[in-house]
Amino acid sequence: IVGTGEIGQAVAHTLSGFGMDLTGVAKNPRSLVPFNRMGSLDDLGRLVETADDLINLLPAPPVTHDIYDRALFARLKPTALVINAGRGGAVVDADLVAALENNQLAGAVIDVCREEPLPANHLFWHTPRLLLTGHTAAPTLPGAMVELFRDNLARFWAGTAMRGEVDFARGY
């Protein structure tokens, strides 16, 4: 799981229930439950060599732009599945299509694209073993939105950090 913020941790907790061996990749790696190991973005090329699934949940600061490219896809096992539910700009579209067409990857699930809505003539529409979803990786439940608002309002009045707060210096 590349991107171990709140969403990455929630996905990891869900997947750990299936007994998956989880590796987390973060800008600043730290020990997190339920990850079995952690690495930095600099370690990504090495870490993907043993991955069965590569799940991108990164935000979109410049350092993450085009990190999933031909060279990275070549390091994955041919049985690997790539899932992008982070940001579309992290994936070089043509490189992903080439990896799938050349059977370098088992498949891909793309929830976010570099360009949305995806143009009718985009390569993804006709790529074998690529599943497109409608940028709906997780539905937002009204009750959860209200609870988040209430919690953040209380945090705001208390002068403490809010959940999901944007840090413009970090780019997300």
| Predicted pLDDT of residue 138 | 59
| Predicted pLDDT of residue 49 | 97
Question: Is position 163 annotated as part of the catalytic site?
Answer: no
Question: Is position 135 annotated as part of the catalytic site?
Answer: yes
Tokens (6 digits) for 36:
């079995």
| Predicted pLDDT of residue 137 | 55
| Predicted pLDDT of residue 159 | 93
DSSP character at residue 112: S
* CB distance 32 to 16 below 8 Å: no
pLDDT tens for 38-68 read 999 999 999 999 999 999 999 888 889 999 9
| Predicted pLDDT of residue 99 | 98
- Indicate which residue of 135, 150, 155, 170 is catalytic: 135
Separation CA 114–CA 104 (nearest Å): 22
Tokens (6 digits) for 73:
């896809």
pLDDT tens for 118-169 read 999 999 999 999 999 877 655 667 777 788 888 988 998 999 998 887 676 7
Phi and psi for 93 in degrees, rounded to 5? Answer: -55, -50
- pTM value surpassing 0.85: no
Say which amino acid occupies 75.
Answer: R
Q: Which residue has the tokens 């998956």?
A: 20
Every domain range in the chain assigned CATH 3.40.50.720: 6-138
As a whole number, mean pLDDT of residues 99-109 equals 97
- Indicate which residue of 65, 87, 126, 150 is catalytic: 87
* CB distance 114 to 93 below 8 Å: yes
Domain spanning 6-138, CATH architecture: 3-Layer(aba) Sandwich (3.40)
